[in-house]
Amino acid sequence: MNLWFVKTPRYIWPFNSETSAFWQPLGFASMAAVLRERMPDLALRIIDCPALKMGWRSLEQLLRSGMPDLLCIGEETVSAHEALRLARLAKEVRPDVTVIAGGCYFAYAVEDTLLNHPVDFIVRSEGEETLSDLVRELLRKAPDPARVLGIAYHDGGEIRQTSPRPLIEDLNTLPSPAYDMLPMDRYGRGSRNHPNLAAIEHSRGCIDTCSFCILWRHMGDETNGACRPRLRTKSGARSFEEVRLLVERYDRKTLGWVDPSWNADPAWSDEFCTLMVRRNMQVMASAWMRADCIVRDEKLGILKKQVKSGLRRAIIGVERIRDVDLRRFGKHNNAPDVTAEAFAILRKNYPEVDTIGTFIYGVWEETEESIAGLLEYAAAQRMDYSFFIPVTPNPGTPVRDEAVRRNAIEVDDLRAYNFITPVMRSKDLTAARLQDIFHKHAALWWIRDGARGIRRLLFERDARKRGVRRALFRHGLRVFNSALWNRITRRDGNPALHFVVPSWYNS
C-alpha cells in the first residue's frame, strides 16, 4: 500500500517572500516516522509543494503518474481550501483513493468536511497513534473503523465519531521526525529571518486556555466532552539529540520552535540549555514565549542559559492591555505590567535577542481609541517588532462560538483567516472599518516615530538585524499599500485579503 502526505501549493503570507521556503510540515514528518517504524512494508512519501515550488499543474501530473492508495491532508484554516481542492482532484484521478484529513482545521470542521467534501476519514487531535491504527485497520480484509479511537468518518450516510484517543503520555517514545523524507536543503534558503531553517518541537499543549487559540485544545485532555489544557514535554536530553541531528546531519542553523509556550517548563529549559551550552552547539533559535515565564526564568538564572544556547528571537503574546480583555480571552498571569517587565528584561540584559510582541484587535467592545492604545503600548515597550492580529474565529475556539452567536462573522472566504485580514465585526465597527482604523493609526504611529525607525533601518550595527528590519519594512509597506488601494477601490465592503500568489502556484 502507498501512502502520501501532501502539503499543497498555497498563497504566501505577505511578510514572506518566494526566495525562502516555508517551514517543514512537522506533523507529517512525525507521523511518517511512526508509520515507517511500525509498518516497514508501507510505501511512504511526503510531498511539500511550497518547499519544492511545485504548482498545481505539476502536482496533478504527479498524481496522474502514480496515485497513492491513501492520501493524507492537513491544514490550518487559511489553507484548508487548498487541501480540499487536492481531495477533489485526487478523487477525479482515482475514485477509490482514501482521503484522510487531520490538523487544527479539519478536526473541528467535521460535519462540513465529511458532508460537503470528498474526505473519507478525519483524524482528530494527536495523529501518530490514531493514523497508525487507522492504516492498520484499513489493511484488514474486513476493516471496521469503529475500532479506531479518535476518528470521524462516513457510515451509511451518517457521520460517526469514535471515542477520543488518550494523549501520548511519554513524548520520548516517539521517533525523531522523518526529516530525511523532506528536501531539507530548501528550507530557509535565501531567508534573512530563518536561514537554514529547521522546525522543531519539544512540547505539546499549553498551560493556559486562551479562547482565540485552538492549539491548547487540539493537544489537551478531553473527558466527557470537556477539554482542559495539558503540557507534555520531551526530556531536555532527547531534545538536544534532535538538535544535534539537525545541525550535524542537515546543516541547520536556525531552529524554529513551534511550541505554543516554549518556556513554560523551567526544568526542561534548564536541562536542555545546559546541554546546548556545554556542547557549544551553535544555532539561532526563534520561540513563542510566555512573559510571566520570562520574568520567572530571569530570577532563576535560566533565561541567561536560554540566550547562551542560541535564543535570538522571543515572540511574546501581549494580546490586550486591559485586564478585563485578558480575562475574557482566558489568558492568565500576563497582565500589561508583566509583559512590560519581560520586554524590559530582554531589552536591558539581552540586546542580542529580537523581541516581538503580538497584539489582538477587533474584540467586541473595540473602539478607535482602544486600537490606538494598543499601538501606544507597543511603542512604549520599545520592542523590536510588533504584529497586530485581528480576532480570527477559527473553528473549535470559544471565539468562534461567540462570533456565530452574535452573527459577527462578515467574511466567509477561508483565505482571509490569515491573521492579517479582519473577518468579523465588533459591536460598532465592521471588519473593513476595523482594518481601516488600524492602518490609519499604524501610519500615524510610524510618522511620529519616524526618526527612530529610520535610524534602525539605516544604522543598525548587527547585519542580521539590519537585513531583517529592511525586509520587514518592505513587506509592511506592501501590506499598507494593498490596504490603501482596497480602501480606495472597495466595492463589496470587505477588507483586503493581502495574500501574495507565488509565481509557481499554477505551474
C-alpha grid cell for residue 168? 501520548
Element (H, E) at 159: strand 158-161
Query: pLDDT value at position 453?
Result: 64
Cα 128 from chain centroid (whole Å)? 19
Q: What is the 8-class DSSP label of residue 396?
A: T
Query: pLDDT value at position 12?
Result: 84
493 or 100: which leads in pLDDT: 100
C-alpha grid cell for residue 251? 546543516
The domain 2-161 having CATH identifier 3.40.50.2300: the answer here is yes
Give 192-202 pLDDT, tens digit per residue: 778 899 999 99
**Residue at grid coordinates 452574535:** 406
pLDDT at position 93 over 80? yes
How far, in Å, CA of 320 to CA of 506, rounded?
Answer: 40
Contact 179, 30 (CB under 8 A): no
Strand order in the sheet with 151-155: 43-48, 2-7, 70-74, 98-102, 121-123, 151-155, 158-161
How far, in Å, CA of 122 to CA of 81, rounded?
Answer: 15
Among 223, 166, 231, which Cα is nearest to 204's?
231
pLDDT at position 483 over 70? no
pLDDT at position 456 over 70? no
Element (H, E) at 223: strand 221-223
C-beta atoms surrounding 310 within 10 Å:
20
CA distances, 17 to each of 476, 498, 499 (Å): 12, 13, 11
C-alpha grid cell for residue 474? 518592505
Contact 493, 425 (CB under 8 A): no
Q: Which of 91-95, 377-381, 462-466 has the lowest mean pLDDT?
A: 462-466
What is the residue extent of each domain of the chain? Answer: 2-161, 192-361
> What's the whole-number mean pLDDT along residues 30-40?
97
How far, in Å, CA of 122 to CA of 131, rounded?
Answer: 10
pLDDT at position 451 over 70? no
Cα 371 from chain centroid (whole Å)? 24
176 or 20: which leads in pLDDT: 176
pLDDT at position 475 over 70? no
Query: What's the N-to-C CA distance of the chain in angstroms?
Result: 29
> What's the whole-number mean pLDDT along residues 324-330?
94
How far, in Å, CA of 278 to CA of 394, rounded?
Answer: 42
Q: Write out the E strands in 21-112.
A: 43-48, 70-74, 98-102
Give 273-318 pLDDT, tens digit per residue: 999 999 999 999 999 999 999 999 999 999 999 999 999 999 999 9
CA distances, 73 to each of 80, 132, 151 (Å): 9, 15, 14
Read off φ and ψ for residue 482, nearest 5 degrees: -65, -45
Of the pLDDT bands very low, low, confident and very high (cuts 50, 70, 90), residue 56 is very high
How far, in Å, CA of 462 to CA of 323, rounded?
Answer: 36
- Buried residues in 418-442 as b, exposed as e (16+ CB within 10 A): bbbbbbbbbeebbbbbbbbbbbebb
How far, in Å, CA of 173 to CA of 213, rounded?
Answer: 27
Give 201-248 pLDDT, tens digit per residue: 999 999 999 999 999 999 999 877 789 999 999 999 999 999 999 999
Give 145-169 pLDDT, tens digit per residue: 999 999 999 888 899 999 999 999 9
Return the sign of the alpha-carbon dihedral for residues 171, 208, 367, 440. Answer: negative
How far, in Å, CA of 394 to CA of 391, rounded?
Answer: 9
> What's the whole-number mean pLDDT along residues 129-147?
97
Q: Which residues contact 185 (CB under 8 A, 6 or more apart)?
A: 250, 251
Q: What percent of the chain is predicted at pLDDT more than 70?
A: 92
Q: What percent of the chain is predicted at pLDDT more than 90?
A: 79
C-alpha grid cell for residue 497? 485579503
Query: pLDDT value at position 450?
Result: 59
Which CATH superfamily, name and number, covers 192-361? tm_1862 like domain (3.80.30.20)
Query: pLDDT value at position 457?
Result: 65
> What's the whole-number mean pLDDT along residues 457-473?
69
